[in-house]
């Protein structure tokens, strides 16, 4: 079973688009075009690229948590949702739906968000951002047979960029990352755990298929949208 829980959350073509976006970011940062936009997040361009690269590679890996009751009815398919194509992994002899945590879409964003909250002491504003975005995403989250819970890919990006800027110009960039990633995880995946077992999904990955693309793009676009309009690099609390 261990070998079957690891798979790309998107089709190779769509995943390649994310890789191309990442490569373009590398080029722009090397040309210093986006250098200061990422510095507004509170980390250097190299560290920002490392986080995004880790998210891309980590999207392939899932950490199994438990097995939910029920029998998977879909396997080895490709499911379309809002223009995105998600992969239903090929599995055999699964006793039910495996609930897992995606490394690139859940573990890394959680660690990064925790670091940003501690660095800038954004406890209250971060909590507001996460709660509001979680509510918005939860209203749009859609159970998709064979995949799990999915959200329109650009909704987290637009909502987080606007809300982060309204909460704080100075700390808009870190708030965008925290609110976008954690709000999506909570609103789409965690608040819909009770619906997963009935979707016939062989593997339900928190931060994986259905939400990974939105979380990854939030890490790129929302931070840039918020960072470009914010003042120079925010002051760390420590």
pLDDT of residue 34: 57
Looking at residue 192, its pLDDT comes to 85
pLDDT given at position 145: 72
Q: Work out the burial of residue 233: count CB atoms within 10 Å of its CB; fewer than 13 is exposed, 13-18 middle, 19 or more buried.
A: middle
The segments of the chain whose pLDDT lies below 70 read 1-15, 25, 28-42, 45, 70-96, 146-148, 198-201, 209-210, 213, 221-223, 225-238
- What is the pLDDT at residue 57? 84
Q: What is the pLDDT of residue 218?
A: 77
Query: Is the alpha carbon torsion for 113, 116, 119, 123 positive or negative?
Result: negative
**pLDDT in the model for residue 93:** 54
Q: Which residue, chain included where needed, has tokens 């989250």?
A: 141
Is residue 15 a contact partner of residue 58, using CB atoms and an 8 Å limit? no
Query: Quick one: pLDDT at residue 1?
Result: 47
User: Among candidates 137, 188, 185, which has minimal Cα distance to 159?
Assistant: 137
Distance CA 74, CA 106 (A): 24
In this predicted structure, what is the pLDDT of residue 37? 56
| pLDDT of the residue at 82 | 47
pTM for this model (two decimals): 0.77
Distance, in Å, from the CA atom of 148 to the CA atom of 214, rounded to the nearest integer, reads 15
Give dist(CA 70, CA 154) in Å, integer.
32
């Amino acid at each position: 079973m261990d070998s079957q829980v690891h798979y790309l959350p998107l089709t190779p073509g769509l995943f390649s688009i994310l890789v191309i976006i990442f490569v373009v970011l590398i080029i722009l940062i090397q040309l210093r075009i986006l250098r200061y936009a990422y510095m507004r997040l509170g980390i250097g361009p190299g560290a920002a690229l490392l986080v995004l690269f880790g998210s891309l590679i980590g999207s392939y890996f899932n950490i199994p948590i438990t097995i939910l009751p029920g029998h998977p009815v879909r396997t080895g398919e490709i499911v379309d949702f809002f223009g995105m194509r998600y992969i239903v992994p090929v599995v055999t002899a699964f006793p039910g739906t495996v609930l897992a945590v995606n490394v690139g879409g859940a573990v890394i964003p959680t660690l990064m968000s925790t670091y940003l909250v501690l660095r800038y002491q954004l406890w209250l504003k971060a909590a507001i951002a996460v709660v509001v975005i979680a509510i918005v995403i939860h209203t749009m989250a859609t159970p998709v047979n064979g995949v799990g819970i999915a959200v329109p890919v650009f909704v987290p990006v637009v909502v987080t960029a606007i809300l982060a800027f309204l909460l704080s110009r100075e700390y808009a960039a870190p708030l965008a990352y925290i609110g976008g990633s954690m709000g999506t995880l909570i609103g789409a995946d965690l608040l819909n755990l009770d619906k997963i077992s009935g979707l016939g999904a062989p593997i339900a990955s928190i931060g994986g298929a259905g939400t990974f693309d939105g979380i990854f793009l939030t890490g790129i676009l929302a931070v840039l949208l918020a960072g470009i309009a914010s003042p120079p690099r925010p002051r760390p609390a420590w």
